[in-house]
Structure 1
Amino acid sequence: MNQDAAQENINTNLIPKKLIPPYMKALSGSLGGIMEAACLQPIDVIKTRLQLDRSGNYKGILHCGNTIARSEGVRALWKGLTPFATHLTLKYTLRMGSNALLQSAFKDSETGKISNHGRLISGFGAGVLEAVVIVTPFEVVKIRLQQQKGLSHELLKYRGPVHCAGMIIKEEGFRGLWAGVTPTIMRNGTNQSVMFTAKNSFDVLLWKKNEGDGKVLLPWQSMISGFLAGTAGPICTGPFDVVKTRLMAQVKQGGEVKYKGMIHAIRTIHAEEGLVALWKGLLPRLMRIPPGQAIMWAVADQVIGLYERRYLQT
């Protein structure tokens, strides 16, 4: 009986009763966001140009990239990098931190474990929060900069992120920075709900890694889990992303806009361009988001894993 009790006590001690503090999750996400932005900005520019192409000027990803580099210079593939990098850093900081805070509400008080439905709800909440606070205004500025053709400042309406934001506020009011907020909420909420749940599941399934166990995944292991977790979202949320881009890019002409909201935009695009148009830019999204998640998690897991090993498993 004493041996059984001792064994049970050991097993209980092995169960993680602590979670990573939200501030550490936030820090790990910000560092991962910086690395992701530096690597994948050209793919994001190509995705935006393809989504805004209504006349078929670009024949595909490679043609679009070559056309931009040839006609506007290679630097044009990094248009909008400043708002993109800032946006990713702040977005991942808020996403990872708020998700950790929300997950604490679903944590089992005895084992410290979180159910899958708790991860889904926490992920959706984190996605909604980041969409409203950070993603929408930054993406409006980024998309307005990316849709401009050429590099000559004299020929461009927006001369940089700050100037662009100021022009939008002057011409369209503060609400102009939140154009497309509804489809952005739907896209990010769904994406993060799926991503956080899938990432944890893949870690457990592939590498037997549980949060708080002190095990530090190798970077390539984190990249595989992150890549797989980041694949489902773009397929499910393609229409939301196309509509978001169209709503953010449009400028009022004489007080009128082409798309009056998310539902109207979906119906208009479907009627004028066909159903497939609602998934325009899907391939470059799949070229950017899963690799982006792979890069971000490779960095974040190292930061989180080292913290677990040093402070939670002493």
Structure 2
Amino acid sequence: MAEPSNKPEPTKKTIPPHVKAIAGSLGGIVEASCLQPIDVIKTRLQLDRTATYKGIVHCGVTVARTEGVRALWKGLTPFATHLTLKYALRMGSNAVLQSAFKDPVTGHISNRGRLLSGFGAGVLEALVIVTPFEVVKIRLQQQKGLSPKHLKYKGPIHCARMIIREEGILGLWAGAAPTVMRNGTNQAAMFTAKNAFDTFLWKKREGDGRVLQAWQSMISGFLAGTAGPVCTGPFDVVKTRLMAQSRSGNGLKYRGMFHAISTIYAEEGLLALWKGLLPRLMRIPPGQAIMWGVADQVIGFYERRYLHNAPL
């Protein structure tokens, strides 16, 4: 039988959802600023049906040479806003869902509870934030050139207005189904893996008063962020293709998630469903490392200052 002093105290040591939301949003701002070029390259590779780009480096060099270095930061405003809001919603909703799955006596949460909480947070962020922001971002990123007079979409607000006018409000939710599957699966794996790596590598448990060093959080976040892209590659490719196609034209090439998967497989082969995987692996794990490096410090500050009254 465990000693009473070893039992968690949920009421005193639970971190409020809004604290995690703020921590996630701050991490999102830093992540977006650092990794936007990788996201632009990923999008261009996924939309490339004619082998224009020979790989990540060739794509980046080609974009910079033909469109200017600033083109590698196309869509930064919606991307940064999207990440900030997404991480706030993801971290906050995950905290709320985890509290529902916690044992009311011990405060412990099972791995099943973590998976369900992560999946629920991923579905919520996909529907509320990710899909409309990514539709705008992808429409901006697929445009070639920097001169506004040659671009259909002049900026994120103009892009959103054009989509609504030409395609209706639902045009901003193109590709919602694969986005829900991608984000739900990603977050279920990520939150569970992050906790597992924190415990396995650093013996850190949430609410124990210990604050990981930033580099420790970054290692855990990096490792937790690697599995998702491999497992959800087809959903990400299909999401990008569905979001990129305009509904205002004469007919759609892809009529939905399953039709897109079968069409891409038939026309381009199985590996085409993992197009852009390497830049995703170059962006998502480092992105999770950056986000958790920032977020854990914010959460740790709160733990020390308000839960344990330890000196800062």
TM range (shorter): over 0.9
What is the match of residue 195 of structure 1?
190
C-alpha contact 2:198 2:204 (8 A) present in aligned 1:
yes
C-alpha contact 1:16 1:113 (8 A) present in aligned 2:
no
What is the match of residue 102 of structure 2?
107
Residues 140-149 or 110-119, more deviating: 110-119
Task: Give, as a single letter, the amino acid of the residue that structure 2 aligns with 1:84.
Answer: F
Question: Which ranges of structure 2 fall in alignment gaps of 5 or more residues?
Answer: none
The DSSP-based 3-state class of the residue aligned with 2:101 is: coil
Could you tell me how far 1:188 is from its partner in structure 2?
0.1
Q: Alignment length, in residue pairs?
A: 307
The DSSP-based 3-state class of the residue aligned with 1:105 is: helix
| Distance in 2 between residues matched to 1:254 and 1:135, nearest whole Å | 24
Could you tell me how far 1:254 is from its partner in structure 2?
4.1
* 1:231 matches 2:231: no
Indicate how the Cα distance of structure 1 residues 176 and 31 shifts in structure 2: closer, same or farther if over 3 A, else same.
same
C-alpha contact 1:16 1:213 (8 A) present in aligned 2:
no
* 1:305 matches 2:266: no
Cα shift readout 1:18-70 (whole Å, capped 9, x = no counterpart): 32100001000000000000000000000000000000000000000000000
What is the match of residue 261 of structure 1?
256
C-alpha contact 2:122 2:186 (8 A) present in aligned 1:
yes
Pairing partner for 1:32 from 27, 33, 56: 27
Correspondences of 1:155-170 after superposition (within 5 Å): 155-170=150-165
What is the match of residue 137 of structure 1?
132
C-alpha contact 2:166 2:248 (8 A) present in aligned 1:
no
Cα shift readout 1:46-104 (whole Å, capped 9, x = no counterpart): 00000000000000000000000000000000000000000000000000000000000
| Distance in 1 between residues matched to 2:294 and 2:111, nearest whole Å | 24
C-alpha contact 1:16 1:211 (8 A) present in aligned 2:
no
Q: What fraction of aligned residue pairs are identical, expressed as a percent?
A: 78
| Distance in 2 between residues matched to 1:232 and 1:16, nearest whole Å | 32
| Distance in 1 between residues matched to 2:47 and 2:288, nearest whole Å | 24
Cα shift readout 1:186-225 (whole Å, capped 9, x = no counterpart): 0000000000000000000000000000100000000000
| Distance in 2 between residues matched to 1:35 and 1:132, nearest whole Å | 23
- Using structure 2 for the length normalisation, give the TM-score: 0.97
Pairing partner for 2:119 from 95, 107, 124: 124
Could you tell me how far 1:313 is from its partner in structure 2?
1.8
| Distance in 1 between residues matched to 2:244 and 2:176, nearest whole Å | 12
Could you tell me how far 1:253 is from its partner in structure 2?
5.6
What is the match of residue 178 of structure 2?
183
C-alpha contact 2:167 2:248 (8 A) present in aligned 1:
no
Cα shift readout 1:214-268 (whole Å, capped 9, x = no counterpart): 1000000000000000000000000000000000000136441000000000000
Task: Give, as a single letter, the amino acid of the residue that structure 1 aligns with 2:200.
Answer: L
* 1:83 matches 2:81: no
The DSSP-based 3-state class of the residue aligned with 1:215 is: coil
C-alpha contact 2:238 2:261 (8 A) present in aligned 1:
yes
The DSSP-based 3-state class of the residue aligned with 2:30 is: helix
Instruction: Indicate the RMSD between aligned Cα atoms, in angstroms.
Output: 1.2
The structure number with the bigger radius of gyration is: 1
* 1:270 matches 2:262: no
C-alpha contact 1:230 1:293 (8 A) present in aligned 2:
yes
| Distance in 2 between residues matched to 1:75 and 1:272, nearest whole Å | 33
What is the match of residue 36 of structure 2?
41
What is the match of residue 142 of structure 2?
147
